[in-house]
Amino acid sequence: IQEKLQGLVHMDSADNTSGWTREHIEAAIRGIAEVHSIWLGREEELKQQPWLVDYPTTQNMKEKLRLWELLGVHCREEFPEWFSEQDLSNYRDIVHSIGDWWSLIEMMPRTLIHNDFNPRNIAFRREADGSLRLCAYDWELATLHLPQHDLVELIGFTLYDPLDPAEVEYYIELHRTEI
């Protein structure tokens, strides 16, 4: 499916999300929840789709252990003001226990997710009735995973410190009820 991406609101706004309002975040959550609902409960059928390749499993996440280790080292080297030696040590502990906790993820309800759901890859079209419709593009990283993954990425890019726990809870509940 293709759509001409012109006349959109907040296209390519990852570098500056200050214009994002509650209306935009809600429209993004409702839009991606609609996508999530399509494959929710149909995981085995989704796994059979020829376009779904290399979705994360406990086994292949463990096989990528060296990649995860190097990613942590890269973060420490590139962003020392954000990622301390203690952060790297904690990160390594988490990475080395991936086989324990990833198996829990595989037991939870999973669906098709965008897997890069942030203002770099989403925008909005203003409809005739004034509402916003989500336009999510660049689906090349789409995979089978927890639907909450897309929600967390969106919130990480669009909410600012200090975070209001009630606002975060509101968006979590909105996503849950929209699926």
Q: What H or E segment, with its residue span, contains residue 124?
A: strand 122-126
34, pLDDT greater than 90: yes
CB contact at 8 A, 137 and 21: no
Q: Which of 16-20, 88-92, 149-153 has the lowest mean pLDDT?
A: 16-20
Place of tokens 């796994």: 47
**How many Å apart are CA 16 and CA 18, to the nearest integer?**
6
pLDDT single digits (tens) 93-146: 999 999 999 999 999 999 999 999 999 999 999 999 999 999 999 999 999 999
Cα-based torsion angle of the residue sequence 90, 69, 83, 153 in order, rounded to the nearest 10 degrees: -90
The pLDDT, as a whole number, for residue 53 is: 87
Residue 56: band (very low, low, confident or very high) from pLDDT cuts 50, 70, 90: very high
- Range 9-32 average pLDDT: 95
Q: What are phi and psi of 21, to 5 degrees?
A: -115, 175
The average confidence (pLDDT) of the chain is 95
- Non-local CB neighbours of 32 within 8 Å, separated by 6+ positions: 114, 117, 134, 136, 147, 150, 151, 154, 175
pTM of the model: 0.90
The pLDDT, as a whole number, for residue 2 is: 66
1, pLDDT greater than 80: no
Residue 74: band (very low, low, confident or very high) from pLDDT cuts 50, 70, 90: very high
161, pLDDT greater than 90: no
- Between 168 and 161, the more confident residue is 168
61, pLDDT greater than 70: yes
- Range 18-34 average pLDDT: 97
